[in-house]
Amino acid sequence: MTRYAMAIDLAACVGCSACSVACTMENDVPVGNHRLWIRNTEIGTFPNLTVEFRPEQCLHCENPPCVPVCPTGCCFVTDEGIVDIDSKKCIACGACIAACPYDARSMHPDGYVTKCDFCKHRLEEGKLPACVETCPTLCRSFGDLDDPNSAVSVAIRTADRVDVLRPEQGTGPNLYYLNAPASFGLTTTVGQVGTEEGAH
Amino acid sequence: MVEWYGLPWSQHFWHWPTLFHFAFVALAGGAAFVTMIATLRDHPRKRTYALITIGLIVLDLATLWAESPARWRFTHVWLFLAFTPTSPIWVGAWGLITSLVASFFVWIDRGPRMLWGALLVVGSSLALMYPGMALAVNTNRPIWSMMLIALFPLTGMVTVIAIAMLFKQAWANPFIVPLSLASAILGVVYLWGLATGIPEAQQGFAYLWSHGGPLFLVGLALLVAPAFLRRTPLLAALVPFVGATVVRSLIVEIGQHQFFGF
């Protein structure tokens, strides 16, 4: 059975934001909403200094906390592992937004919750998600995790290092970060409280 | 330093009407609880209490409707067509609707009284418990700890007992001090749990403290106050009502923050 996943090579990502632009255009994302954003984090102090460009979006978790809290059943996981939303059933209660540890869900102005769906309309046409197709540094890999020859499986297998966000939450993300700045590691995000510099 | 292209949805997703909802649902659940006792004991005022319960539930649902971004989409019918018992909001919706139906039959004084009483046992319990559950399930938001499953029903009962006292229901007087004191103690334990918990809980405590800590302490102090106001029932009712509402509102409002975003 197909189990979609994505991997992002942080060593290759240059933070150009083309993926975010492509996502916005492909999915007609309204102003004020973002399905995909880039977090640019300075890590360390001179001379041990680097910058991590980290694209973030819905991680299509194996154990998504957003799904069981949905009171109408509009949040669900497809057979292919995509965490999806039936907007016709959404009552915009915000329970899934509260439950998401990654702030990946947002409220559409038309009164329903929206987020990345791996461009499922493109997958049905045999295309890649818009962010994957547009990335100029080819840092994104997408495919079937159960297929050892898929692009994502190969990328994860050959990476020096594989991370997921907030593993302590037990969500089992299907979006993997590869080759994070090795000497510093994938930036943790619990930092100083109440400041915009709190990400590290 | 962190910079962004695009932003995660780190802003508040529940706004001021939701704070009113959390106040009204406490009153509605508490009133249903009082109606349940009156119904089971065949109290002469059971119909009055049932009517008040109906009014509070309608008021609460109207508040939710006002808050909803899906106000005119009428998707809310799915609350009752879906079976999602893992969702506290679904549980709360059924608690409120069960209380509403049972209270209606108590009010018109038709049907088996004990059945309506039994339905109110279930309905009022769910309505009282669901707000705390709806917050506590979000383990990613440390301010919304598991303690809220106990703190919210208790503070909810404080508010409804206080309202009963304000309407000179003499039976309510003996309950206000133990309920409000228990709420204050739970509130202190809740803060202690955050302050001495895992690092994220400690961050939650720091954030809660920096964004409303003194007001939270005032709320707890107001919950203790009825012990010293026994001779002035009006104040002994009003003061803990304000205290319970302040504590609940601060937890809902400030607890929406999680430390992953910004």
Contact B243, B219 (CB under 8 A): yes
Residues of A in contact with B1 (CB under 8 A): 41-42, 197
Q: What was the pLDDT predicted at A185?
A: 60
Joined together, the tokens standing for residue A75 give: 């949040």
From the list B14, B200, B262, the residue facing A94 with the nearest CB is B14
> Residue A191: pLDDT band by 50, 70, 90 thresholds?
very low
Contact A200 B2 (CB under 8 A): yes
Of the listed ranges A14-18, A27-31, B9-13, B253-257, the least confidently predicted one is B9-13
Contact B6 A20 (CB under 8 A): yes
> In the CATH hierarchy, which fold is given to the domain comprising B11-137?
Formate dehydrogenase/DMSO reductase fold (1.20.1630)
Quickly tell me which residue has 């089971």 as its tokens: B40
Mutate to test the interface with A, among B1, B3, B5 (most CBs of A within 10 A): B5
Cα separation, B125 vs B228, whole angstroms: 30
CA distance B128 to chain A (A): 17
> In the CATH hierarchy, which fold is given to the domain comprising A4-62+118-178?
Alpha-Beta Plaits (3.30.70)
SS3 annotation, B161-194: HHHHHHCCCHHHHHHHHHHHHHHHHHHHHHHHHH
Q: What is the mean pLDDT of residues A53-67?
A: 96
Please say if the pLDDT value at position B262 is more than 70.
no
Of the listed ranges B11-15, B223-227, B253-257, B258-262, the least confidently predicted one is B258-262
Q: What was the pLDDT predicted at A200?
A: 30
Please say if the pLDDT value at position A199 is more than 50.
no
The contacts of residue A99 (CB under 8 Å, 6+ apart) are A65, A66, A69, B137, B138, B140
- Domain limits, chain B: 11-137, 172-262
Reduce the DSSP state of residue A82 to 3 states and report it: coil
> Residue A126: pLDDT band by 50, 70, 90 thresholds?
very high
Mutate to test the interface with A, among B15, B140, B252 (most CBs of A within 10 A): B140
Q: What was the pLDDT predicted at B242?
A: 97
More confident residue, A194 or A95: A95
Q: Work out how many CB contacts closer than 8 A connect A with B.
A: 165
From the list A37, A111, A196, the residue facing B73 with the nearest CB is A111
Q: What is the mean pLDDT of residues A7-12?
A: 94
More confident residue, A189 or A2: A2
Contact A34 B73 (CB under 8 A): no
From the list A73, A107, A190, the residue facing B84 with the nearest CB is A73
Cα separation, B48 vs A89, whole angstroms: 37
Q: What was the pLDDT predicted at B20?
A: 92
CA distance B91 to chain A (A): 8
Q: What was the pLDDT predicted at A103?
A: 92
- Domain limits, chain A: 4-62+118-178
Q: What was the pLDDT predicted at A89?
A: 92
Residue pLDDT, tens place only, B127-173 = 999 999 999 999 999 999 999 999 999 999 999 999 999 988 999 99
Mutate to test the interface with B, among A36, A49, A93 (most CBs of B within 10 A): A93
CA distance A149 to chain B (A): 33
Residue pLDDT, tens place only, B66-109 = 888 888 877 888 888 899 999 999 999 999 999 999 999 999 99
- Phi–psi pair at A105, nearest 5 degrees: -105, 145
- Report the percentage of chain B scoring pLDDT > 90: 80
Contact A198 B4 (CB under 8 A): no
Please say if the pLDDT value at position A188 is more than 80.
no
More confident residue, A42 or B85: B85
CA distance B12 to chain A (A): 9
Q: What was the pLDDT predicted at A184?
A: 62
Please say if the pLDDT value at position A131 is more than 60.
yes
Q: Indicate the pTM of the whole model.
A: 0.91
From the list B4, B89, B260, the residue facing A189 with the nearest CB is B260
Q: What was the pLDDT predicted at B258?
A: 83
Joined together, the tokens standing for residue A102 give: 């990654």
Joined together, the tokens standing for residue A7 give: 């991997």
**Chain B residue with minimum CA distance to A36:** B6
Residues of A in contact with B148 (CB under 8 A): none
Please say if the pLDDT value at position A190 is more than 50.
no
CA distance A192 to chain B (A): 8
From the list A90, A106, A198, the residue facing B75 with the nearest CB is A90
Please say if the pLDDT value at position A194 is more than 60.
no
Please say if the pLDDT value at position A197 is more than 80.
no
From the list B5, B87, B199, the residue facing A190 with the nearest CB is B199
Half-sphere exposure of B250 (CA within 13 A, CB side): 26
Contact A71 B90 (CB under 8 A): yes
Other Cβ atoms less than 10 A from the Cβ of B125: the count is: 18
**Chain B residue with minimum CA distance to A192:** B203
- Phi–psi pair at A92, nearest 5 degrees: 60, 40
Identity of the residue numbered B262:
F
Q: What was the pLDDT predicted at A32?
A: 85
